[in-house]
Amino acid sequence: MARSTDATRSVFGTMPDGQQVGAVTLDNGHGVTAKVIALGASLQALNAPDRDGKEANIVLGYASLQSYLDTPQYFGATVGRYANRIAKGRFRLDGRSYQVPVNDGLNSLHGGTRGFDKVLWTVTDVNKSADHASVTLRYVSPDGDMGYPGKLTATATYTLDVRGRLSIDYRATTDKPTIVNLSNHTYWNLAGEGSGTVMNQRLTIPAQTYLPVDATSIPTGKFTNVAGTVFDFRQAKPIGRDIRQGSEQQLLNGHGYDHNWVISRHASKTQRMVAHVEDPVSGRELTLSSAQPGLQFYSGNFLDGTSVGTGGKVYRQGDAFALEPQLFPDTPNHPDFGSARLAPGQTYRNLIVYQFSTIKAGGSSN
């Protein structure tokens, strides 16, 4: 008889100011567990079985709080207020100019020097039922925080169900007009964290176009067709098949893949598949769905051997990938990209759903 779902509280560590960092482990009763920590509302570990039932942690993370503080790498983190890059940290909103911190060369990345990944969220709710277990975390970013206007109240609800689905439901409200773009920056290795390269894992992204970037990884504003380029993942192919094509300037700009694929020009009203990854060796597969218009795919280009993960192994370049459903990078500076504006009375939402399953040796899914 299968075990029921469970949600277990614990303490992951203590911040320098004495605040405890809460943790909640969600268990779906069928071999999938997810551990969420309050620092950065982050997914610290996720265990899932392979085709033979052997469980492994398939996300990159640290074993101790101190490592998250000493060498932050966005492992599993909630990123915001504005995920991805804003050119030179500048944008205009309702006729007024704003400056946010630059922390990625000339640009602002993932909210600035103290983005949502580096703050302590509050665990506000933990639930379990017959078919799912969940935890909700909350963070209130004051007006002017990192230069952004408006008090932003954000929540992140992680839910793990008996079908092997982990969802992250991001929501936010504001008391004055602002911009917001929240996403999750989990690094995945379907063979198991610390097991080595992900270059042979097969990726599908159902996108006809992508956004080329300049030398500082800011979109040029063009929408470029993926047909005939290294950015064509409409049919599954190994992540590393084309990654070392030295003649492709875009790969040189990003030191590999670090680009936004255009799932659609506007957000969808319903969830749809935005990526699928399978590991031929373990048989694990991941299907990602979202209603967001963009998907940032990052091939772990800057993992450089300075981080030792939960299993005691060093993470090196290409040892994981990130898939982040979101608005397009630098949207506030590109009217053609749509709008990142959130007004009082509106609720921002980004629901991200990860479905875990396995492929049998013959190729069919379980």
Catalytic residue annotation: 185, 324
Residue 306 and residue 308: Cα distance in Å, rounded?
Answer: 7
Nearest 5°: CA angle at 161, between 159 and 166?
Answer: 50
C-beta atoms surrounding 143 within 10 Å: 13
Give me the residues paired with residue 323 across strands: 297
Between strands 152-161 and 294-298, the pairing is unpaired
Q: H or E stretch including 87?
A: none
Contacts of 61 (CB under 8 A, 6+ apart): 42, 43, 44, 45, 75, 76, 193, 309, 310
Spacing of C-alpha 197 from chain mean position: 19
The phi and psi torsions of 328 (rounded to 5 degrees) equal -70, 145
In eight-state DSSP terms, residue 327 is S
Q: H or E stretch including 68?
A: helix 65-70
**Token pair listed for 349:** 């939402």
